[in-house]
Copies of this chain bind each other. A is one copy, B any other.
Amino acid sequence: MATATPPTTGAGEPSRTLALLWGDPSATPRRKGPGRSVTVEQVVDAALALADEHGLAAVTMRAVAEAVGVSAMSVYTYVPGKAELLDLMVDTLYLRMPRPAWRASEWRTRLTRVAEANRELLTSHPWMTEVAALSRPPLGPGVLGKYEHELAAFDGTGLTDLDTDAALTYLLGFVQSHVRSAHDAARATTDTAMSDAQWWEANQPVLAQAFDPQTYPRSVRIGRAAGEAQGSAWNADSAWDFGLDRTLDGLAALIDRL
């Protein structure tokens, strides 16, 4: 960051990002200067590989540049800045998601597929939960195609247009929230190189005094119960099943009422 003010995305030419996202139709017949050594797609793929293998923090302009074999500053001739690169990464992955036709007649089955597909995507690319916004995504072909496909899963539910949109956002919000929690939990045990049990053991003296059953009766009881039942205070698969059932039941109250 060069300045203290928040980095403005593509200041001056707001459509530059959109042109990039939509593949810039007037790009093929280039005019002057030397040929480009790589392609935007290669740059984005390199960034994706870095993020998947070493986390979002590993996606630096220099690292991306080295991965594609150009200097750091050359990356800026392909993308206006890092923010736009991240947008492209997200849209690219959205674009590559499979879009099978909705055969199932039950809306619950279709929405379960939607949720599971998103869970898989975010689990394979955990950094996306730190980047992908639900309410103001980059309007690229990936985002739009995904949106259209997932909206189609609501066909036949009888929901209004506005309710369909709200329902989809709600469903995706659950998935994102869940994967984010799962990722946080996994990272906590991973990068401290300390299991739940070890951590608990090491902090026994402080915790014994803090976790007073008189002051926090429910917390202590539930903490113990959760630990015994699922080996840890938080189990990803249990939470997923619980949350998805609740979400679909919540939507059922709207859909099946009609």
Binding site for B on A (CB under 8 A): 6, 8-9, 14-15, 18-19, 22, 55, 57, 133-136, 139, 141, 144-145, 147-148, 151-152, 161-167, 169-170, 173-174, 176-178, 180-182, 184-185, 188, 191-192, 194, 199, 202-203, 205-207, 209-211, 215-219, 221-222, 225-226, 229, 234, 238-239, 242-243, 245-254
Contact = CB atoms under 8 A, between A and B. Distances in A.
A192 B9 contact: yes
23 contacts: A14-B203, A15-B205, A18-B207, A135-B185, A147-B216, A147-B219, A148-B215, A151-B222, A161-B221, A162-B222, A162-B226, A165-B222, A165-B226, A167-B242, A169-B234, A170-B239, A173-B177, A173-B181, A174-B177, A176-B177, A249-B250, A249-B252, A249-B254
So how many copies of this chain end up in the complex? Answer: 2
Nearest to A1: B57
Given A14-B202, A218-B152, A246 B243 contact: no
Given A173-B181, A246-B247, A218 B151 contact: yes
Nearest to A203: B15
Given A202-B14, A222-B151, A246 B253 contact: yes
A249 B239 contact: no
Closest 5 CB pairs of A and B: A250-B250, A246-B250, A249-B253, A135-B181, A173-B177
Given A135-B185, A177-B177, A206-B22, A254 B246 contact: yes
Contact of A169 (B8, B148, B239): B239
A182 B163 CA distance: 18
Contacts of A221: 161
Contacts of A249: 249-250, 252-254
A19 B136 CA distance: 41
B18 A170 contact: no
